[in-house]
């Protein structure tokens, strides 16, 4: 008989009666022992980690402590359940003690894993994120647990990230009984650093905020509602100023490239400006983050094909990640000044829409021939990047779901980074290694600049003259024409916009990547003086 079956019999012997009315009790699983079904149990769950060893498993210090509290029952149950618990997999146990309705034991892989150079991330942290996400989801979905304690597994920050990212669901527009039950996660006492746990939770909150904004349909998330939602969010955080500028302001700034994109839409454009003052020197040069905020991209007159066009509700991913990152940076009270610039509008076809071949003038006076109205992201960023210069920035980073070409090049493995600075790139790269939300450097050769300029009618063309060839690189070369800061990076996040199943601790849907990398980058920047 398999070890797994032996365990099943042992568990049944302890609590033989199953929940008789899972629908009534809100229990999603008929196999839940009656004592722990929703009608009777105190709904508290526990997630514990175990490392893989050649024979069996090794308990984390937190799991070991709990094992002692249960008189060795945990280790015995694990032994009965089978030879090992593999990386990212879990087993749920009932009846270990009176405190928890259920305990999910999750596999962390081998102990002591660090940075994997080939993968470009910290493998131990990434395994823990996946394991924590798996454990909390199990307890929520099987048991309807409302409070879950999580083993910090000696890295409470990564455990909190995995747990809180893993529980995210955007179901605000579904009937109440179809929504995921809200769950509160807590660090298991004496299993990791409480400060690390708080930091990980705030990082996950920032990314989840971005995910929600990206997931919201364009019927609900317009430039105007984006401004009201983020305005409310930032209004509740200290040291943050928020302003929403209207079309007249953009006209007064001569943002002709940005305004040309909104022409076809009935929704008014909004340009959001967020300022976080965290540096002890309030006039210290800020990090400026610029985010593409197309709340829906139809392509305009150069209409996109219909398949998958619904995903273009996430074309404000740059705007969302900038907002999520600044929310987390402010919540963490990082000692740095940050400005967020977010040009928002829709890209729609209509009798007023910009036509292919039209010429528009950006804030810096450069003229642009708009040969493809679907290459609109670079137009709104062009003016936002010109405007960024007025803040005398320490560094400028723009984020945009800019090109399908970056998806072809890198898929969802990493966001593409185009930078004029090796120092800036190194900081960004290192941030991605620790968060697991990786970045990959791409070229900014003048070769690509020659593909977008000169244009037949104007200084620049908004598409490369060799069509789709190196589309992400020609887009970056275009943006470079509007940048004055010697510390600039453009992150093309189109490929990482959504998750299918590639990142195990993110569900299917909009990903909010790379919010945590941006925040870790800002923390690194705050602590060094080269830039
Ligand atoms: N809105 C952008 C990107 S649309 C392509 C995309 C592909 C895969 C994942 C996410 C988004 C746009 O219109 N770009 C123009 C272009 O790529 O030509
Ligand atoms: Mg959206
Ligand atoms: Zn487009
Ligand atoms: Zn777009």
> Does the beta carbon of 109 sit less than 6 angstroms from any atom of ligand 1?
no
CA of 384 to the centre of ligand 3 (A): 17
pLDDT at site 526: 98
| pLDDT for the residue numbered 18 | 55
Is the CB of 403 inside a 6 Å radius of any atom of ligand 1?
A: yes
Is the Cβ atom of 415 under 6 angstroms away from ligand 1?
Answer: no
Q: Please state, in angstroms and rounded to a whole number, the distance separating the CA atoms of residues 154 and 247.
A: 51
Radius of gyration of the chain (CA): 25
- Distance from the CA of 377 to the center of ligand 3, in angstroms? 6
* β-strand partners of 149: 46, 186
In the reported structure, the alpha carbon of residue 300 is separated from the centroid of ligand 3 by a whole-number distance in angstroms of: 8
Residue 182 has pLDDT above 50, yes or no: yes
Whole-angstrom distance, CA of residue 439 vs CA of residue 514:
9
Q: Which residues surround ligand 2, an ion (CB under 5 A)?
A: 216, 221, 313
Closest C-alpha residue for ligand 1 atom 4: 404
Residue 371 Cβ inside 6 Å of ligand 1? The answer reads no
pLDDT band with cut points at 50, 70 and 90 for residue 28: low
Q: Kindly state if the Cβ of 494 falls inside 6 Å of ligand 1.
A: yes
Ligand 1 atom at shortest distance from the alpha carbon of 315: 1
Q: b/e string for 285-312 if b means 16 or more Cβ within 10 A?
A: bbbbbbbbbbbbbbbbbbeeeeeeeeeb
Q: Please tell me the predicted confidence (pLDDT) of residue 293.
A: 99
Ion ligand 4: protein residues whose beta carbon lies under 5 Å: 294, 297, 315, 377
Among 305, 370, 403, 491, which is best to mutate for testing ligand 1, by the most ligand atoms less than 8 A from CB? 403
**Residues annotated catalytic, as ranges:** 304, 378
Query: Ligand 1 atom 11: the closest Cα is on which residue?
Result: 494
Q: Is 154 left (phi over 0), alpha (psi -120 to 50) or beta?
A: left
Residue nearest to atom 14 of ligand 1 (CA): 403
**Which carries the bigger pLDDT value, residue 25 or residue 208?**
208
Q: What is the ipTM of this complex?
A: 0.94
Decide whether any atom of ligand 1 lies within 6 Å of the 377 Cβ. yes
Q: Please report the pLDDT score of residue 16 as a whole number.
A: 33
CA of 138 to the centre of ligand 1 (A): 35
Mutation pick for ligand 1 pocket among 404, 413, 502, 513 (CB with most ligand atoms within 8 Å): 404
With a 6 Å cutoff on the Cβ, whether 157 touches ligand 1 is: no
Please tell me if the CB atom of residue 315 comes closer than 6 angstroms to any atom of ligand 1. yes
The mean per-residue pLDDT over the stretch 68-92 comes to 94
The C-alpha atoms of residue 353 and residue 112 are separated, in whole angstroms, by 57
* Average per-residue pLDDT for the chain: 93
Domains of the chain: 45-192 (3.40.220.10), 213-527 (3.40.630.10)
Q: For 62, phi and psi rounded to 5 degrees?
A: -65, -45
What is the tens place of the pLDDT at every residue in 309-325? 999 999 999 999 999 99
Span from the CA of 297 to the centroid of ligand 4 (angstroms): 5
pLDDT of 32: 58
Please tell me the least confidently modeled range out of 2-6, 22-26, 259-263, 296-300.
2-6
Can you tell me the distance from the alpha carbon of 7 to that of 66, in angstroms, rounded to the nearest whole number? 20
510 lines ligand 1 (CB under 6 A): no
| pLDDT category of residue 36 using cuts at 50, 70 and 90 | low
What's the confidence (pLDDT) of residue 4?
Answer: 36
> What are the tokens at 186?
């807590």
Q: How many CB atoms lie within 10 A of CB 52?
A: 17
Residue 52 pLDDT greater than 90, yes or no: yes
pLDDT at 37: 52
What pLDDT digit, counting tens, does each position of 476-494 carry?
A: 999 999 999 999 999 999 9
Instruction: Write the DSSP symbol of residue 224.
Output: H
**For ligand 1, what atom is nearest to the CA of residue 407?**
8
């Amino acid at each position: 008989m398999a070890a797994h079956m032996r365990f099943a019999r042992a568990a049944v012997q302890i609590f033989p009666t199953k929940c008789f009315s899972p629908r009534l009790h809100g229990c999603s699983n008929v196999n839940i022992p009656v004592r722990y079904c929703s009608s009777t149990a105190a709904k508290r769950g526990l997630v514990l980690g175990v490392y893989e060893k050649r024979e069996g498993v090794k308990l984390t210090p937190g799991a070991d402590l709990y094992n002692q509290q249960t008189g060795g029952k945990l280790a015995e149950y694990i032994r009965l359940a089978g030879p090992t618990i593999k990386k990212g997999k879990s087993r749920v146990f009932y009846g270990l003690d009176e405190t928890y309705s259920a305990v999910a034991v999750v596999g962390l892989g081998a102990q002591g894993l660090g940075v994997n150079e080939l993968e470009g991330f910290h493998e131990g942290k990434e395994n823990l994120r996946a394991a924590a996400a798996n454990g909390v989801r199990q307890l929520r979905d099987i048991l309807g647990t409302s409070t879950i304690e999580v083993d910090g597994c000696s890295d409470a920050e990564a455990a909190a990230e995995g747990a809180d990212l893993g529980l995210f669901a955007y179901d605000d527009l579904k009937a109440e009984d179809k929504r995921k039950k809200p769950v509160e996660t807590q660090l298991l006492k004496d299993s990791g650093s409480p400060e690390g746990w708080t930091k990980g939770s705030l990082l996950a909150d920032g990314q989840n905020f971005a995910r929600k904004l990206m997931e919201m349909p364009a019927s609900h998330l317009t430039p105007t509602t984006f401004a009201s939602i983020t305005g409310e969010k930032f209004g509740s955080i200290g040291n943050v100023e928020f302003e929403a500028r209207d079309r007249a302001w953009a006209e007064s700034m001569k943002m002709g490239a940005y305004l040309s994109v909104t022409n076809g839409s009935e929704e008014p454009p909004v340009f959001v400006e967020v300022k976080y003052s965290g540096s002890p020197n309030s006039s210290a040069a800020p990090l400026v983050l610029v985010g593409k905020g197309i709340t829906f991209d139809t392509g305009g007159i150069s209409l996109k094909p219909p398949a998958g066009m619904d995903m273009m509700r996430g074309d404000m991913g740059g705007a969302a990640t900038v907002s999520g990152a600044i929310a987390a940076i402010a919540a963490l009270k990082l000692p740095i000044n940050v400005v967020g610039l977010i040009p928002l509008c829709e890209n729609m076809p209509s009798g007023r829409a910009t036509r292919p071949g039209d010429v528009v003038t950006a804030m810096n006076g450069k003229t642009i021939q708009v040969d493809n109205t679907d290459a609109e992201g670079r137009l709104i960023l062009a003016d936002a990047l010109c405007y960024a210069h007025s803040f005398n920035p320490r560094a400028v980073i723009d984020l945009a779901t800019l090109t399908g070409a970056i998806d072809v090049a890198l898929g969802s493995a990493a966001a593409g980074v185009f930078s004029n600075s090796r120092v800036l790139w190194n900081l960004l790269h290192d941030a991605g290694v620790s968060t697991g939300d990786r970045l990959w450097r791409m070229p900014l050769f003048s070769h690509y600049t020659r593909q977008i300029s000169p244009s037949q009618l104007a200084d620049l063309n908004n598409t490369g003259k060799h069509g789709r060839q190196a589309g992400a690189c020609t887009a970056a070369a275009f943006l470079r024409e509007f940048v004055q800061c010697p510390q600039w990076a453009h992150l093309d996040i189109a490929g990482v916009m959504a998750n299918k199943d590639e990142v195990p601790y993110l569900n299917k849907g909009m990903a909010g990547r790379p919010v945590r990398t941006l925040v870790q980058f800002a923390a690194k920047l705050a602590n060094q003086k080269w830039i």
